[in-house]
Structure 1
Amino acid sequence: MAAQKKKRKRDIEKNYPVKQFVKKLRRLADCIEQGQKFQIQVAGERISIPAAAIINIEHERSASSEEIEFQLTWPLEKK
């Protein structure tokens, strides 16, 4: 059995044109609704999000801006 390659830590924000962002959100919503995993490529890396991922919405406010984050969180499988 081949050894699992250790993934590097990563913290990336990627901006998308509105039409592309909406298309990704629709695919995500469809997968969540159907109880299926969701796959997305972000900055060249393909990510597979399991159907059991925890979904939450975060709101942040500072003196100069506000931010909403739609988050999906899941534990990594140990191999």
Structure 2
Amino acid sequence: MTAAPRDVEQFYSTAEVVAKLRRLADALETDKPFRIQIAGERIRVPARARFSIEHERGDGEEEIEFQLKWELPDTDDEAESDDEADKPVV
């Protein structure tokens, strides 16, 4: 099943961003999947995701984006295990 297209931008407090980045860093260091909730949707980022940093400048402002990208599986091979589905997401 293919996920529906989505393009959202969600703003968080500094404390929330720090907590999310700390968990992301731990997942990257240990080569484990990362789970996050953004604008009400739970997302599982696989350990094989590629990480990039993007910088944009224009119209009197600058932007840095930290991006994780991965291909969606064609099959259910990478479906979450039952115990992972119950883990809390921050």
TM-score by length of 2: 0.80
One-letter amino acid of the structure 1 residue matched with residue 47 of structure 2: A
Count of residues paired in the alignment: 75
- Matched to 2:41, the amino acid is E
Report Cα offsets for 1:19-57 as digits up to 9, x if no partner: 011000000000000000000000111000000100000
1:60 — aligned with what? 56
Q: 2:65 aligns with which of 45, 62, 69?
A: 69
Q: Which runs of 4+ in 1 moved over 6 A?
A: none
Percent identity over paired residues: 51
AA matched with 2:40: G
Residues of 2 paired with 1:46 and 1:7: CA distance? Answer: 12
Which is richer in helix? Answer: 2
Q: Secondary structure at the match of 1:77?
A: coil
Amino acid at match of 2:3: K
| Partner of residue 11, structure 2 | 15
SS at 1:9's partner residue?
coil
Structure 1: runs of 5 or more not aligned: none
SS in 1 for 2:71: coil
Q: Which runs of 5+ in 2 are unaligned?
A: 76-90
Does 1 or 2 have the higher relative contact order (CA < 8 Å, sep 6+)? 2
